[in-house]
Structures are given as structure tokens and as C-alpha cells.
Structure 1
């Protein structure tokens, strides 16, 4: 079969267009995959923060007489950058007071959190005005920063999370 001179190279153009469309599809899939990996990492960090906060609240429930010591103990480790920073006496091998146990529990949790890039604090819950002050634990990671008594980068005073904040709040008692 003879082809006309004007039709020469048309097949090559069709192949090039198909390759361009395929490349756009592959780039879209790659972007989708990167977003999925980011979402998985975020979910993992949030799960780790939840486990840490739950463990600390269980320690607080077990140390009923030392509950008043936990806010200051947790706050003392909010800017922890070294796992050996302010290491208290171990309560595993020695007898400790309720306050010492609170300090030890806070240290152990903060040290574990540091391994995951999470920082913790404990302060009054958002919206807890008046006579009864509820205490909340806060965990933050990535660009969301906490100070000992300030969770404003995480949520507002009514307890609404801020856009793009990477944090978690859990009521302790």
C-alpha cells in the first residue's frame, strides 16, 4: 500500500502525543503517591501521640495522690531536646514519693515522645473557666510548637483546632 507524502510522520506524532499523555498520567500518580505517604506518616505520628498520652493518663490514674504534681512535671520537659535532660531518680528500683513518681512518669513519656519528634505539655483545658479547672495533655509535632502553658499554636481558647496544626489534645482529669 502506498502512502501519500503528506501522511509521512503522522504515526510518529501520534506516538509522541500518546507518550506525553502517559507522562502526565504517571506524574499525577506520583503526586498522589507522595500525598498518600505523607498522610500515612501523619496518621502514624498521631497514633504514637495518642498511645503516649493514654499511657501518661493511665499513670496519673494509678498515682491518684500525685495527680496535682503532673502538670508541673510534664511542663518541665516541654522543650526537651536531649533524652538525658533532667532525668529524675528511677522509681522502678527505689521507693518514691507521689510527686517523684509523677516526675518520673512525665520524664519517661517525654523521652519516648522525643524519639518520635513529639513535644508534650499539660495545662488547663480550653474553655475550662470558673471553679473547676480540667487538665489536658497536648502533643505537638512538626512545625506546631508548644510552650509550658501555651497551646495557642494548636487550638484556640474554645478548643477548636487551628488549620494545619499538627497536634492532639486529651483531657487528663
Structure 2
């Protein structure tokens, strides 16, 4: 066998093996980046659920002040009023308690970089009967719901693709 034809073949095998290894490492890196993004999104959703659940329970507990919550949630509240109401010896009115609840929820949402909004749930605006069903929204990242929730979901209740938000129906 002529060894002159075999020179450099080992080097080519090593280069091909390195190329395959590099492709595998790039694939693994892309997988890790996607896993970190999914983990961050899950954490944000968990925080949003925490804030929305707390506010929903406060609304449920303060049924007398239920009608005041929508306007309060949709405007910024000062936490000074919340502390003055809760820390005083006088009993709070239903609206003052609602203001305190919303201020606390907005402070919690702000700590997580979120916005809150409360609107009539999608698809039930024309339903007659008992009370109109209300929904709480939390949004983060590039999704802005300060004026309305169209950046989060459409009028039929379908989430907008690419939005970072969560909706919770109140009972």
C-alpha cells in the first residue's frame, strides 16, 4: 500500500469531527437560551398570578366596595391613603378599603414590573342578568395595557400573539 496517498487523512477526520461537534454545541446553546426564556416567562406568569389572586380575594372580601375597584385599578393609587386607612383607629369605608387594596396590588405589580387593569370580560359585554363579569389583567415587558387591553387580547378573548399578559376572571 502506498502511504503517500494516506497523508493528511487523519487531519481531515479530526476537522470533520470538530465541525460536527461545533454544530452540536451551537444547537445545545440555542436550546439553553430558549429554556432560560421559558423559565423567565413562567416566573413572570407566576408573579402575575400572585398579584391578581391577591386582588381578586380582596375584591371578594370587600363586596360592598366592589363597584369602586374598576376605576381604582385603572388609575394610579397612592399608598399613603392605604396606610392611613388601615393604620387608623377609625373603621375604613368600603371605598377606602378598596383604595388600600388596589394601592397594595399596584405596589406589588410595580415590584415585578407589571401593569394592572380591570375591564368587562371579553364576550360578556352584552350578557344580561346578574352582574357584568369583570376581569383583571396583568401585563409586563413590551405589552402596554394602561389605556386598554387590546395589546393583550382581542374582543373575543383570544390572546394577542407575542403579548406578555395574563387575564383572570372575577366571580
Query: What is the TM-score of this pair, normalised by structure 1?
Result: 0.89
Deviations 1:100-138 (A, max 9, x none): 111111111111111111111111111122344211100
Among candidates 161, 164, 169, match of residue 162 of structure 2: 164
Among candidates 64, 87, 90, match of residue 93 of structure 1: 87
Instruction: Say if 2:115 is the partner of 1:119.
Output: yes
Cα drift, residue 44 of structure 1: 0.8
Whether the 8 Å contact between 1:88 and 1:103 is mirrored in structure 2 is no
CA distance in 1, matches of 2:87, 2:162: 43
Instruction: Say if 2:15 is the partner of 1:16.
Output: yes
Secondary structure of the equivalent of 1:161? coil
CA distance in 1, matches of 2:6, 2:27: 33
Instruction: Say if 2:106 is the partner of 1:107.
Output: no
Uncovered stretches (5+) of structure 1, i.e. residues with no partner:
78-84
Whether the 8 Å contact between 2:115 and 2:146 is mirrored in structure 1 is no
Uncovered stretches (5+) of structure 2, i.e. residues with no partner:
none
Query: What is the TM-score of this pair, normalised by structure 2?
Result: 0.90
Secondary structure of the equivalent of 1:146? coil
Secondary structure of the equivalent of 1:121? strand
Cα drift, residue 87 of structure 1: 2.4
Instruction: Say if 2:26 is the partner of 1:34.
Output: no
Secondary structure of the equivalent of 1:122? strand
2:75 is matched with: 76
Count the aligned residue pairs: 164
Query: Which structure has more helix as a fraction of its residues?
Result: 2
Cα drift, residue 88 of structure 1: 3.6
CA distance in 1, matches of 2:117, 2:80: 18
Deviations 1:51-74 (A, max 9, x none): 110110101111111111110111
Cα drift, residue 3 of structure 1: 6.1
